[in-house]
Amino acid sequence: MIYKMENQPKYEVMIDKLAYGGDGFARLADGRAVFIPDVIPGEKVSIRIVEDKQKYARAAALEVLTASQVRIKPPCPHFGVCGGCQYQHIQYEAQVQLKKEILKDQLTRIGHLDSVAEIEVFSSDLPFGYRNVMQFHPLPDGKLGLMKRNSQAVFELTRCLLPMPAIAQFWQYLTLEADSGITRIEVRQNREEDLLVLLQGEGAELPEIAVDMPISMVHRVGNDTVVLSGDDAIVMTILDIPFHLSAGAFFQVNDCITEKMVQRLLDILARKKPRRVLDLYSGAGLFSRFMAPEVQQVTAIESNALACHDFVINLDDFDNVTLYEGLAEQVLPSLDIEADLVVCDPPRAGLHVKVIDTLAESGIPTLVYISCDPATLARDIRRLVEKGFIVENIAMFDMFPQTYHFESMVVLARL
């Protein structure tokens, strides 16, 4: 049941911890959990219930009665309205430690790990201005906006602190005509400050856009793509290696953290010395490209056609790489696996149970699990441990400062 705020009594609670998703976790007098946004562990806050369930409640903070020492004034005027950031009220160093605690909590509660190994933490060099890609949504008058928190509604944007400089400058000069048919605009930047803009919409008619900047711009409706200016791809550089990336294709959003993840993976390869590796959910070939010079054979599986196109370009110089296009749960069981190490970087849904079963039955000695969702990571680790794996080490990478999101890299080995 959802209540009107003014009809609800006030309560005072102590914030125990942060839950994955950004909300603070506390207990009501009746023992139920209550989730409150924009608070920090250790704070005493006055709240009102906004959603009352049988087993839990959601509330809004009315007043911070005892503030945390790591509380700061959010620098963005849209914080609290915009759905992009949840942690701007927390000092950056504290954000990273809180994410580490969230990862540990998920692995303990959901993963059923009796003891969680020490988690190595990799912070972002840039707490702001780190995103190499942003998604905007036009308002009816053509101005750009972002999604509101917990809503599909769009608000007019006046400032955003997350994108890299060229994106931050560009979006302010882009205005669409009213009723242009464009529903989403993706802007990606590389380190050379080249820009690739993808316009996505519902109508087939090409929009009229005038931009006085040298950029690449692509219009896409369904599977129909038209290059309006420049190219239909951009070159991203990671550790001095160029990657061809098509408009709309997935790539990690924080270059410096991506490099730290790649270096961590290379360190694992140097220690394990595999000859043959399996790269599941390989995307545009980021990890395969760095593993290929170090091993005898790389076998990759990717379901997205656009990513496969980029993968072929990015790995064209290597004769020891094989790519299968298809769903991992469909392709993997049909392969005669002979690999010493597998790297998997699945979407938020995690590993399909068929993938887990196949990996468990294959006898592969080492599994490197890269995850963007600690809940599904913990679930899958529990299943892998039940099938004979142990956790060797855990790392947390703060790919998304100011938000509740982060990346993890867990090394599992045969018991």
Look-up: residue for tokens 């010079």? 293
- Report the predicted TM-score, pTM, of the whole model to 2 decimal places: 0.94
Helix orientation angle between 92-109 and 374-386, rounded to the nearest 10 degrees: 40
Answer with the residue of higher pLDDT: 228 or 294.
Answer: 294
Q: Which helix (H) or strand (E) holds 383?
A: helix 374-386
Quick: pLDDT tens for 342-360: 999 999 999 999 999 999 9
Q: How confident is the model at residue 300 (pLDDT cuts 50, 70, 90)?
A: very high
Q: Which residue is associated with the tokens 């005892």? A: 66
Question: Of the CATH numbers 2.40.50.140, 3.40.50.720, 3.40.630.10, 2.60.120.560, which one belongs to the domain with range 5-71?
Answer: 2.40.50.140
Report the percentage of the chain scoring pLDDT > 90: 84
The pLDDT of residue 213 is above 80:
no
Helices (H), 241-365: 255-272, 286-291, 305-314, 328-331, 353-362
Helix, strand, coil percent values for the chain (each to nearest 5): 25, 35, 40
23 is in an annotated binding site: no
Going by C-alpha positions, the residue among 315, 313, 290 that lies closest to residue 368 is: 290
Say if residue 40's pLDDT is above 90.
yes
Would the annotation count 380 as a binding residue? no
**Which of these, 72, 69, 53, 59, lies nearest to 23 by C-alpha position?**
59
Please report the pLDDT score of residue 6 as a whole number. Answer: 58
Mean pLDDT along residues 288-292: 98
DSSP string computed for 119-172: EEEE--S-SSS-BSEEEEEE-TTS-EEEEBTTSS-EEE-S--SSB-HHHHHHGG
For residue 270, pLDDT over 50 is answered with: yes
User: CA 10, CA 12: separation in Å to the nearest integer?
Assistant: 7
pLDDT band of 225, cuts 50, 70, 90: confident
CATH no. of 94-126+254-414: 3.40.50.150
One-letter amino acid of 69: Q
Q: Which of 82, 85, 344, 372 is catalytic?
A: 372
Average pLDDT taken over every residue of the chain: 94
Is 345 labelled as part of a ligand binding site? Answer: yes
Mean pLDDT of 225-239: 93
* Residue 209: pLDDT over 80: no
Check if 344 is active-site.
no
Give the pairing type, strands 276-280 and 341-344.
parallel
Residue 281 counted as an annotated binding residue: yes
CA atoms within 13 A on the CB side of 29: 5
pLDDT digits (tens, 9 = 90+) for 98-131: 999 999 999 999 999 988 879 999 999 999 999 9
Return the number of other C-beta atoms located less than 10 Å from residue 297's C-beta: 18
Cα–Cα nearest to 401, from 261, 254, 236, 191 = 254
* Confidence category of residue 1, pLDDT binned at 50, 70, 90: very low
